[in-house]
Structure 1
Amino acid sequence: MERILKATVVVGLSSLLTVAFGAVRYKFIATELGATGVGLLGILTSGITFGVVLFSLGLNTSGVQAAAAASGDKAKFQLTRFALLRGSNWLGVAGGLIVATLGLTLGASWFPAPVEPALMIWMGVALGSMVVSGGYLALLNGTGRIRALAVSNALGSAVGTVVTIAAVFISGQAGLIAALAAAPIATLACSGWFLLRDPRTIPRPNFSQWWPELRSMFLLGGVVMVGLLVGSAAQLIVRIWLQQTQGLQIVGYFQAAWTITGLYLGFVLTALAVEYYPRISKQVNHPRILNSSVDKQIRVALLLGAPVLLWMMVLSPLVLHILYDADFQSATSILRWQLLGDVLKIVGWAIAFLLLARKARGAYFVAELSFNVCYLLLGIPLALQSDLAAMGIAYVGSYAVYVPVTLWLAHRESGFVLQRSAALLILVLLVAGGVTLWCLENGSTVGIYVGSFVASIVSIASAFTLHAWRKVERRSAVDVDYIG
């Protein structure tokens, strides 16, 4: 618990800064370019995300596992380090060139509005930077260099925000370019600087030495890539379908809700994953310890994330107004439904990392496929019959399928079973979130009062539980030392 909380504080502060800077960037884009500008940025961002997933081949995930697993063997770690950095560099350059070329030749048929060639070139630069920095950050994460990781992300976001604000005042096109490329380039520069300072302890290995390490990462990363590719494709399909059926403005509302939930959840989960994934990657040969770590992580993540989730649900209209503009109030309902679904997302997130740590490639792919297929099968038909909030309902329903699937797969892989305390916590938070959502959607003033009361109770209970849990663990550690 102590280690988890310390890592969470360091990375959490970095994530908080990243969230804040990201919010400022989107605020300026929304104010100056409106919902259509945010919608176009959402499509471009989804395209870049899709490309990063495709061209990184999962190294930003499998690299963490490989670096953590090899950390006890200096010679093996140096080969893993070289292979990860070399592979990321190659993939980043190749991906950037391909995307820029395709954008310049075929971009006019992909986007709903005329796009300048310069934007296509900078899309390639942004994608290449994200692929390369993904490998660099994976190495920092896998070796436990949490402060360097936090500084890289926070500084990259800060530089990206300053450049975006300046560019928005120059022109809308320049603002979009900066919003896409400035932060990735700055993050790459910062993370690369940290790694260049590392001393080289062995001579440069030849291809036959480092290629087996990279191939091993590709085997796991390839499955991660396919799973993420399915997710990115689903998101791109939804945005394009919304643009064609309901207009670019609706895409802007959808993007606003999705970005807020991503920023909020990224703040919690990124902070936790930095310590969590490398730790369980070292426990894969001890199923009992591994399962205990996963169950504990679920409870910690829920206790840290639930208060923010509920307060965001209550304050959704204000958050949308502050982060975007008054015109974005139409995204309130979908945002609230997605926040409710994030209770289940936290649970599935923790279990999915167990599958990755165990290198259960097929199981991980099945789990990711289950969510995205359900999201498309539920979301599009519901949205045809209702409004944008239907996509939020589909989000909740898809995670209601995803969590049982991951639980079943994890049980087959390591015998994992959700403990009674964790299951009860999930149920309580789902009820609290459901009550809050129902009250907010069915009564403006009363709903705010009820939602604020529920959020306050959950916040106090979560803080008290974490404090009591921490005291028990400290007392247990003292008792073990005394007996020893």
Structure 2
Amino acid sequence: MGIGKLRGAHGLSAKVLKAMGLFGGVQGVGILCSVVRVKLVALWLGPGGVALFGIFNSAVDMVKSFSQLGFRSSSVRDIASHSGSASLAGIVAVVRRWGLMLGLLGCVAMLVAAPFLSKSTFGSYDRTLYYMALAIAVFLMAVSASEEAVLQGTGRLRALARASLWGMVGGLAVSVPMFYFLGLESVVPSIIAYVLVTNLALMGRRVKFPGKALRTGLRETWQAGRHFIMLGIYMTATDVIAQVLNYVFIAWLNQTGGENSVGFYQAGFTMVNRYPALIMSAIAMEYYPRLASVASSPLRIRTFVAHEMRLLTLLLTAFVAMFVPLAQLAVRLLYSAEFDVAVPFVTIAMVGVMLRAVSYCMSYVILAKGDGPTFLLTESISAVAALGLNIVAFRLWGVSGLGVSYTLWYLLYVAIIAVVYCRRYRLRVPRRLVFAVCLEVVAIAICVIVAMTAGHLWALVPGVLTAAVSFYCLKKIF
């Protein structure tokens, strides 16, 4: 029995790290392609081209967010829960049909909104046709989202990674000649071409089922898809609330502390929130559908959550322990010495990064169970708390205080998610795991305290020791 458990844990850990390496690499290539594209646009099209890219892409993202209703993530749960069953082909057909319908909805929305977007953005209706042309991109994005959901939900992660990779590289290769030969007129065609190439790459990996294609009427499509559409609506509402409250804080910070404070906050928040998220989101590509497939089994959910939490916290402990001593160097490499004001923010917030990893593993249970109202409630409380903590902390300690508020925010969020996890779903986290995670958080806190009091280089001593212990524990797992 013990050997079986060890083999099972080893295989699962290897699977998780393979997914992390796979999608971490894809995200890295995506960032590189984005940097190259922005650089070429800046060189060949100038500031005007960069501005147009930002404006048109923002319009596409806005319409896409509202028209797709979050179904890309919510439908993964339904697909994964039917994986291996005879009804899988049926649910996949439903997801693809919803992708077409939501794509058409987004397409119509962009066509209708085009005159308003042109007038409100450029002060005239001259760019209306450009916005109308972007309706093609909105439609293709919805179709691509359905295929991405199918690949992720059925566990075809390597195919999804390859399609994403070829889509990004191919999209860049098609766009570059447009930038060079068409100048400013290339902005809209290049956006459409990029999305089209990504769509074709996904279609090349399209999951096929034996037998005749299943035909579903509108009634059947609604009945089978209403669960993930409703969950998607809750997810969209949550995202809107979070974005609005974040904008409220930025507007308040701009009025209170000035543009420089906003710049320091944006730089620091990107470092503590976006870069660790690359690790978490890469792992979630495999974790979320796996969790959704066993949503009705409390024992298997507890096992998967505990395993994921152990692995993720160990990985982040090693990463964070080495990052804290090098925080100032990282800020100067990514930005400049002028942004040293954000170093205390970034350093203190590393404790919050550890707490975020803990909440991250448990919070996916809410999505795996399709509990939209609970997801909306917990995320809304979290967003309101973040706004209040940020305002109070900035008033007390300035930009450095935002690191304190980030840590307190995720401490509160862990408590909220733990209540839902333990009380609502009647699940629990093993005591040994709680003790181990607490030790890791304390170890990172010690690194932060040493860095803030004695200097960042002195934090190398506890940092290296903590990282070494984490790597030793990871080695034991394998």
Same fold judged by TM-score > 0.5? Answer: yes
Q: Provide the residue aligned with 1:479 in structure 2.
A: none
Q: Which of 221, 224, 234 in structure 2 is aligned with 1:213? A: 224
Using the TM superposition, name which of 398-407 and 228-237 deviates more.
228-237
The one-letter amino acid of 2:329's match is: L
Q: Which of 2, 9, 12 in structure 1 is aligned with 2:18? A: 9
**SS at 1:202's partner residue?**
coil
Question: Could you tell me whether the CA contact under 8 Å between 1:294 and 1:351 is conserved in 2?
Answer: yes
Query: Unpaired segments of 5 or more residues in structure 1?
Result: 471-484
1:462 pairs with 2:470: yes
For residues 252 and 372 of structure 1, the distance between their equivalents in structure 2, rounded to whole angstroms, comes to 21
> CA offsets, 1:131-167, max 9 Å, x none?
4433322211110001012223333444566678889
Q: Which of 351, 355, 361 in structure 2 is aligned with 1:344? A: 355
Using the TM superposition, name which of 217-226 and 100-109 deviates more.
100-109
Question: Could you tell me whether the CA contact under 8 Å between 1:25 and 1:164 is conserved in 2?
Answer: no
Q: Provide the residue aligned with 1:69 in structure 2.
A: 81
Q: Provide the residue aligned with 2:303 in structure 1.
A: 292
**SS at 1:467's partner residue?**
helix
1:416 pairs with 2:410: no
The one-letter amino acid of 2:471's match is: A
> CA offsets, 1:262-306, max 9 Å, x none?
442233222322222222222222212221221221111111222
Q: Provide the residue aligned with 1:279 in structure 2.
A: 290
Cα separation, partners in 2 of 1:366 and 1:30, compared to 1, 3 Å:
farther
The one-letter amino acid of 2:241's match is: V
**SS at 2:205's partner residue?**
helix
User: In the TM superposition, what are the counterparts of 1:185-196 in structure 2 within 5 Å?
Assistant: 186-195=197-206
User: In the TM superposition, what are the counterparts of 1:47-58 in structure 2 within 5 Å?
Assistant: 52-58=64-70
Question: Could you tell me whether the CA contact under 8 Å between 1:18 and 1:157 is conserved in 2?
Answer: no
The one-letter amino acid of 1:3's match is: L
User: In the TM superposition, what are the counterparts of 1:75-474 in structure 2 within 5 Å?
Assistant: 76-95=87-106, 98=109, 102=113, 105-106=116-117, 130-159=141-170, 186-195=197-206, 201-243=212-254, 246=257, 250-325=261-336, 327-384=338-395, 386-443=397-454, 446-450=455-459, 452-470=460-478
1:19 pairs with 2:31: no
Cα separation, partners in 2 of 1:280 and 1:58, compared to 1, 3 Å:
same
Question: Could you tell me whether the CA contact under 8 Å between 1:39 and 1:252 is conserved in 2?
Answer: no
The one-letter amino acid of 2:267's match is: A
Deviation at 1:65, TM superposition (A): 0.8
> CA offsets, 1:46-67, max 9 Å, x none?
8866654433223122211100
Using the TM superposition, name which of 138-147 and 295-304 deviates more.
295-304
Cα separation, partners in 2 of 1:194 and 1:331, compared to 1, 3 Å:
farther
The one-letter amino acid of 1:65's match is: R
Using the TM superposition, name which of 222-231 and 211-220 deviates more.
222-231
Q: Provide the residue aligned with 2:4 in structure 1.
A: none
**SS at 1:195's partner residue?**
coil
For residues 113 and 237 of structure 2, the distance between their equivalents in structure 1, rounded to whole angstroms, comes to 21
The percent identity for this pair of structures is 22
For residues 286 and 280 of structure 1, the distance between their equivalents in structure 2, rounded to whole angstroms, comes to 10
Question: Could you tell me whether the CA contact under 8 Å between 1:11 and 1:147 is conserved in 2?
Answer: no
> CA offsets, 1:399-430, max 9 Å, x none?
11111111111112332122222222322222
Deviation at 1:86, TM superposition (A): 1.9
1:59 pairs with 2:71: yes
Q: TM-score, normalised by structure 1?
A: 0.79
> CA offsets, 1:180-238, max 9 Å, x none?
88876554332233117666643432223332111121122222222233223333333
Question: Could you tell me whether the CA contact under 8 Å between 2:326 and 2:456 is conserved in 1?
Answer: no
Deviation at 1:82, TM superposition (A): 1.5
For residues 170 and 323 of structure 1, the distance between their equivalents in structure 2, rounded to whole angstroms, comes to 32
For residues 260 and 23 of structure 2, the distance between their equivalents in structure 1, rounded to whole angstroms, comes to 32
Cα separation, partners in 2 of 1:72 and 1:417, compared to 1, 3 Å:
same
Question: Could you tell me whether the CA contact under 8 Å between 1:21 and 1:161 is conserved in 2?
Answer: no
For residues 437 and 24 of structure 1, the distance between their equivalents in structure 2, rounded to whole angstroms, comes to 34
Deviation at 1:81, TM superposition (A): 0.8
Q: Provide the residue aligned with 1:481 in structure 2.
A: none
Deviation at 1:336, TM superposition (A): 3.0
Cα separation, partners in 2 of 1:217 and 1:164, compared to 1, 3 Å:
same
For residues 191 and 359 of structure 2, the distance between their equivalents in structure 1, rounded to whole angstroms, comes to 29
The one-letter amino acid of 2:472's match is: F
For residues 469 and 366 of structure 1, the distance between their equivalents in structure 2, rounded to whole angstroms, comes to 36
Question: Could you tell me whether the CA contact under 8 Å between 1:42 and 1:252 is conserved in 2?
Answer: no
For residues 174 and 247 of structure 1, the distance between their equivalents in structure 2, rounded to whole angstroms, comes to 36
Using the TM superposition, name which of 386-395 and 43-52 deviates more.
43-52
CA RMSD of aligned residues (A): 4.1
Question: Could you tell me whether the CA contact under 8 Å between 2:254 and 2:262 is conserved in 1?
Answer: yes
**SS at 2:427's partner residue?**
coil
Cα separation, partners in 2 of 1:328 and 1:316, compared to 1, 3 Å:
same
Cα separation, partners in 2 of 1:30 and 1:256, compared to 1, 3 Å:
farther
Using the TM superposition, name which of 286-295 and 385-394 deviates more.
385-394
Cα separation, partners in 2 of 1:274 and 1:51, compared to 1, 3 Å:
same
The one-letter amino acid of 2:14's match is: L
The one-letter amino acid of 1:462's match is: S
Deviation at 1:338, TM superposition (A): 3.8
Deviation at 1:69, TM superposition (A): 1.0
For residues 329 and 53 of structure 2, the distance between their equivalents in structure 1, rounded to whole angstroms, comes to 22
The one-letter amino acid of 1:457's match is: L
**SS at 1:380's partner residue?**
helix
Question: Could you tell me whether the CA contact under 8 Å between 2:318 and 2:471 is conserved in 1?
Answer: no
Question: Could you tell me whether the CA contact under 8 Å between 2:63 and 2:109 is conserved in 1?
Answer: no
Cα separation, partners in 2 of 1:344 and 1:280, compared to 1, 3 Å:
same
Q: TM-score, normalised by structure 2?
A: 0.80
For residues 324 and 181 of structure 1, the distance between their equivalents in structure 2, rounded to whole angstroms, comes to 31
For residues 190 and 412 of structure 2, the distance between their equivalents in structure 1, rounded to whole angstroms, comes to 35
